[in-house]
Structure 1
Amino acid sequence: MYLSKKTIDLIKENSSSLYDNDNDAGGRRIKDSFLRQESPMGNTLLHVAAEYGNENLVENIISIRRELVHAENKKGDTPLHVAARGGHVSILRKLLVQCLSFFPYSQYPVEALDLILVRNKLGNTFFHEALLNGCKDVTGMLRSQETPFEDGFKEFIERAALFCINNEDKSVLYLAIERGYKEFVLDALFPSTSKITVLRYISYYPFQFLTWLTEKDETKDMSDILAKILRTKREWIRLKGAEGKIPIHFAASIGYVHGVEELLKTCSSCNMERDKDGLSPLHLACAGGHTKVVKKLLEHEDSPDPREILDNCGRNIAHIAAVMGKFNVIRYILQDGKHGLVEMINDKDYEGNTPLHLATLLWHPKVVHALTWDKRVVLTSVNDKKETALDASLKYSFQNPTLRQQLVWTALKSAGVAEKGSHSIEIHAQNDPKGIDMSPYKDRINTLILVSTLITTVTFAAGFTLPGGTNSSDPGKGMALMLNHALFKIFIFCNTISIYDSISVTITLLWAQLGDITLALSALKVARPLLGVTLATLSVAFLAGVHLVISDLSWFATTSLVLSVVLILMLLFLYVLLWFPSTSKNIVLRRISYYPFRFQTWLVEEDESKGM
């Protein structure tokens, strides 16, 4: 039998309709018919009473059917979870006492804990649910004298609860730190109102605790807690986790500047510690793009020569920043004048790769662009495979490349990076013309042919449908009425260019249909700028024609003219981006291409401002 909405309303009101009169006992007893009911989600009457904070009804139910205390609904929630979610601490205490009534005290540490810290489908205990819903009084409930347990068992529950992990690998203490519950954390670490000393139990998990603390944003005001812990338990700072990381690794990796400062004050040599991959805090700060932390670590008085800090692959911080595509770190290295960072920009790892090679292999166009514009970067370096950075880019992207790959290739080509291999599509086509799949290029060619044909049709029709019409009587029969108007001349001039350019594009692309890949690529290179001129002149012809026929209404004609000019410039900018930046080595074209290149890298790479 399902719990109805009517029954739930009765629970909210604590209605007498829920009870049978019990004259002998002098009290009231919940009706059996209600005790047998469940909601479609599997909630019992005790779940609902706990949710709405009906303490009297909770007492009545557990006095009759105490086994409902550990009944689970379809989400795995017990009444403990429901009461915690609603912040009903007094009901939680009653349910907790009832859970322990199933066991003698001698069995508390083994079996009773499983009932108290039962997890729902999300892996949350009732402590997790309380913290997630802003109820910070759960530990205080345990310490209260009203909770009739031995102090030792209270401490045991609290220790287990604080470090119990849910499905997201988050403990209750982690959630408290994450949500900025400073009082809760301080009370857990340094309780002043009872004999419980959770700090003693945290010593079982010091690495995890300091890691959680250093992972949190300093706006959560946890920095003073970190300082207090470090004064109390200085030995924790060097404890390592499974990956060989110590807390300063995590602080550096998330850009927690204040945490790094505090940890370095306690342990000045911690910036030399490496994890199992050989990564130091400096490596991890660069990998995260945190230039403030990088600067802080480099300026520390015990900081070693950054060129000597290498990971297990022989990579310095410039290599790491290039691998992760952290443009802001690369820019910081290139602009550095104090720490000799720029000297490592051409260093090679154990495979002979420079930062330029690595940024190329992982397709980070913004980093490649910054490196190729710096004259101190050696563009001719080859790795152990005898490949330049350009060879590396062509090796993996000679067919149907993505925009990121095209941008990387363009930056390298325009900078004049040498090509020693035979990975380019032109060379590949010469060696094995049948080995190239033409289908991606055919789609592009066919699309451009369709566009150029449509433009030809439109411009041809416009040539015989002149703005303003033609003279229908002598003299000058058939001549345009606005022949002497300046804008009419612009219309005819632009329309003429547009039609012949579109025809030229069509003819050029017909050559590309002959099946030769080299010819197809050459045709595409010629067709794109021609089509751009066609679209530009067609737009200007439209502007001139419309302005002619509405010129008598000056405000309307002026508004239309301004709007058309702005839109034409915007459309031209978008089209120019298709064939700019240029691969030309000419310095003028390179500089013209600079900002279009930056705009396109902005489109394909994420913003790093948070890592600054």
Structure 2
Amino acid sequence: MADSTTSSLNLSTESNQVVAEDARKIQIANQATADDGNLTQIIFMDPKLYVAAAHGDIHVLERHDIRVQRTPKKNTVLHVAAQFGQADFVEKILKLPSLSSLLQHHNEKGDTPLHLAVREGHLTVVKNLIHAAKKLGEEDTERGAAADWKVMLRTTNNEQDTALHEAVRNHHPEVVKLLIQEDPDFTYGANTEGNTPLYIAAEWGFGDLVQMILDNCSSPAHSGFSGRTALHAAVILKDPAMTKKILEWKPALTKELDKNGWSPLHFAAYVGCHPTIVTQLLEKSDTYVVYLGVKNHGIGNRTALHIAASRGHVEIVKLMVSHFPDCCEKVDDEGNNVLHLIMPEKKIFLTSGLSNIPWLRVRGLTYEKNGKGKTPLHLFHNSIIPWEPLFKLTWDTLLGLRVRPSEFAISYRRKRSSRIVSMRPLGSLEIKEDSGTKKVNKYLKLRNNESHMIVAALIATVTFAAGFTLPGGYIQNESNNQGLAVLSLPTNGTNGKDQVMAFALRENFRIFVMADGIVMFAFYVRYCCAVSFFIA
């Protein structure tokens, strides 16, 4: 009796669990149906079906209704098979009746099965999907063959990415070539980030894809992040081959400006491109681009020459001055000319050959005052002295700069806050100013150095006094030996033990004088170095 009662209870419990599970499935299905906006009831995909689609097990298809089953991201079984590259499985699904609608089905992120196949680089699956779309169009005489498969190629997801965007971003050359060949006349627009396929290829440094797009697309779009073009991206990456290819395709891109008003030439000056790239840009650019002023680190009206000078890119400065000598006359909003920006770096200016360029030696530039009343020579005097190249300078160089040698030798440290400049590839320009604490530390360090100099002077005084005070003293009486050290006299006239002792004292005195002289010379050298360091 007890056993039958227990069995009844167990059966009742199992029945309740089954009912609850069925109710949960119905609730999930209804929710999925409501989210999908379709009257067809949607249920979560059976795990066995998911695994079969991922592994390409075709026989499982017969035991499931694959039209209504979805993953949590609303991927169909065709999405799953395409994502895992199961070409035969995809082909089998597309041959089944009434499943052609899955070809254009979008998942939660707006991706079609083609998006997923392209993203993973499954070339055969991509071919199967395109072939199925073409065949579907042939069977539907009302829409025409071109309508279905071209619509599928041009379909965008939630990020406004087409299949070509995905293929380029993930660098699948064969897939890119196939997609372009299937629809070469379509101009692929920008996605939500503003990037076109050509710009994405240039941004990531995929020179082979840039070549492929330019050679096969009829009219590719070139816009990208923050209003930049594919040429901006190639220049920022310092890629001469890519830059040359884009310039040959469309030279007019040299005058395209981004949202901040920067041309490719300005970016080349900022990042320090090879002179080959700068030469290409100068030869293709309109003249006004060279004189175009932009805002750089909060200071407006800076030309590409100003930017190159402030960044210490000497070769670019030389190149631009050689092509456009009068661009040296341009000043920024603070009144700085090219010498104001590069002169503080003495080591760069004096050792790079810039001081030998006639356009940079005229008094109109060296004596021109900026908004703070400072000339380039003021900044030259108040900058850090690089002592190693200091002694290599010739008088001709100093006189050529109209600098008095006495002024040059007593220059002091320039009082300025250090700036840490960073640039993310294709990102915004950033400058981080040092905090006021660092300025205080510099001031305390300078005062500490002054204290050390006073102590060093006192030690030097004592050392020199001790060096000239010899043991035994000097001969004081008026004779021919007056002023000589007592222990330096000859030992003639002494006999026996006194003679031996006198000889030993005289020899020891000679050793003492030699050692004393060496110590004095070493201290003199050390003292001179200390004074030089303090001045620097």
* SS of aligned partner of 2:355: coil
- Secondary structure class of the residue paired with 2:336: coil
Structure 1 residues 390 and 248: alpha-carbon distance in aligned structure 2, compared to 1, 3 A threshold: closer
User: 2:112: which partner in 1?
Assistant: 78
Partner of 1:364: none
Distance verdict in 2 for CA 1:391–1:269, change over 3 Å: closer
Q: Report how far residue 83 of structure 1 moved.
A: 0.6
Show CA shifts across 1:517-558 (max 9, x none): xxxxxxxx99xx9xxxxxxxxxxxxxxxxxxxxxxxxxxxxx
The Cα of 1:338 is off from its aligned counterpart by 1.4
Judge conservation of contact 1:369–1:408 (CA < 8 Å) in 2.
no
Q: Does residue 162 of structure 2 align to residue 128 of structure 1?
A: no
Amino acid at match of 1:128: H
| Pick aligned residue for 2:437 from 402, 409, 429 | 402
Change (3 A) 1:98 1:392: closer
AA aligned to 1:406 is N
For 1:249 and 1:389, the matched residues in 2 are separated by: 28
SS at match of 2:173: coil
Post-superposition Cα deviations, 1:340-385, rounded to whole Å, max 9, x if no partner, equal 65775775433546679999xxxxxxx953599999599x9xxxxx
> Take 1:81 and 1:5, find their aligned partners in 2: how far apart are those partners?
23
Give the alignment of 1:547-566 within 5 angstroms. none
- How far apart, in 1, do the equivalents of 2:228 and 2:50 lie? 47
From 375, 381, 384, give the equivalent of 1:369: 384
Q: Paired residue for 2:70?
A: 38
Alpha-carbon distance in structure 2 between the residues aligned to 1:227 and 1:591 = 53
Amino acid at match of 2:330: I
Matched with 1:294 is: 317
- Structure 2 distance, partners of 1:176, 1:333, is 38
For the pair 1:88 / 2:110, whether they are aligned, the reply is: no
Whether 2:196 is the aligned partner of 1:175: answer no
What SS does structure 1 have at the residue aligned with 2:316? helix
CA contact (8 A) 2:75 2:107 kept: yes
Aligned letter for 1:247? P
Code of the aligned partner of 1:17 = H
CA distance in 1, matches of 2:53, 2:415: 74
| TM-score normalized by the length of structure 1 | 0.48
Q: Separation in 1 of the partners of 2:379 and 2:81?
A: 62
CA distance in 1, matches of 2:286, 2:444: 44
TM-score between the two structures when normalised by the length of structure 2: 0.53
Aligned 8 A contact 2:199 2:224 in 1 = no
1:576-595 alignment runs, 5 A limit: 589=530, 591-592=532-533
In structure 1, the partner of 2:242 is: 222
Which residue, out of 306, 315, 338, partners 2:356? 338
Whole-Å separation in 2 of the counterparts to 1:66 and 1:590: 87
Give the distance between the partners of 2:46 and 2:203, measured in 1 at CA: 39
- What is the DSSP-based 3-state SS (H/G/I as helix, E as strand, rest coil) of the residue aligned with 1:137? helix
8 Å CA contact retained: 2:54, 2:84: yes
> What is the SS of the residue equivalent to 2:384?
helix
User: What does residue 484 of structure 1 align with?
Assistant: none
Q: Which residue of 2 aligns with 1:273?
A: 291
Name 1:15's counterpart in structure 2: 57
Count of paired positions: 367
CA offsets per residue over residues 287-306 of structure 1, 9 Å max, x none?
A: 444333223223x2433262
Mark the CA change 1:80 to 1:321 in structure 2 (over 3 Å): closer, same or farther: farther
Match of 2:326 in 1: 304
Task: Tell me the CA shift for residue 92 of structure 1.
Answer: 3.0
- Where do 1:113-152 residues align within 5 Å? 116-120=154-158, 124-144=161-181, 147=182
One of 148, 164, 183 as aligned partner of 2:190: 164
Residue 338 to residue 204, structure 1, CA distance change in 2 (3 Å):
same
Partners in 2 of 1:321 and 1:74 — Cα distance? 55
For 1:34-73, list aligned pairs within 5 A: 34-61=66-93, 64-73=98-107
Distance change (3 Å), C-alpha of 1:41 and 1:188 = same
CA distance in 2, matches of 1:319, 1:114: 58
Q: 1:251 corresponds to which residue?
A: 268
Q: The residue matched to 1:278 in structure 2 has which SS? A: strand
Matched residues, percent identical? 23
Q: Distance in 2 between matches of 1:117 and 1:238?
A: 32
Q: Highest relative contact order (Cα 8 Å, sep 6+), 1 or 2?
A: 1
CA distance, structure 2, for counterparts of residue 98 and residue 124 of structure 1 = 20
Aligned mates of 1:7, 1:36 — CA distance in 2: 12
CA contact (8 A) 2:196 2:223 kept: no
Partner in structure 2 of residue 261 of structure 1:
279
Checking the alignment, whether the CA contact within 8 Å between 1:356 and 1:371 is kept in structure 2 is no
| Alpha-carbon contact 1:345-1:377 (below 8 Å) kept | no
**Amino acid in the other structure paired with 2:83:** E
Question: Which segments of 5 or more consecutive residues in structure 1 lack a partner in the other structure?
Answer: 21-29, 148-153, 360-366, 381-387, 394-399, 417-524, 530-585, 596-612
- Deviation per CA, 1:251-304: give whole Å up to 9, x if none: 222222221111223458467331444222212223444333223223x24332
Distance 1:166 1:135, change over 3 A: farther
Contact 1:297 1:303 in 2 (8 A): yes
Distance 1:211 1:55, change over 3 A: same
Equivalent position of 2:214 in the other structure: 189
Residue-by-residue CA offset, 1:180-235 (whole Å, 9 max, x unaligned): 433432232233xxxx5236x6699997233233233227x325414533xxx444
Q: State the superposition RMSD in angstroms.
A: 5.1
Question: How far did 1:46 drift?
Answer: 1.9
Determine if contact 1:272/1:280 at 8 Å carries over to the other structure.
yes
- Bigger-Rg structure (1/2): 2
Alignment of 1:370-385 (within 5 A): 370=385
**Alpha-carbon distance change, 272 to 178 in structure 1, aligned in 2, over 3 angstroms:** closer
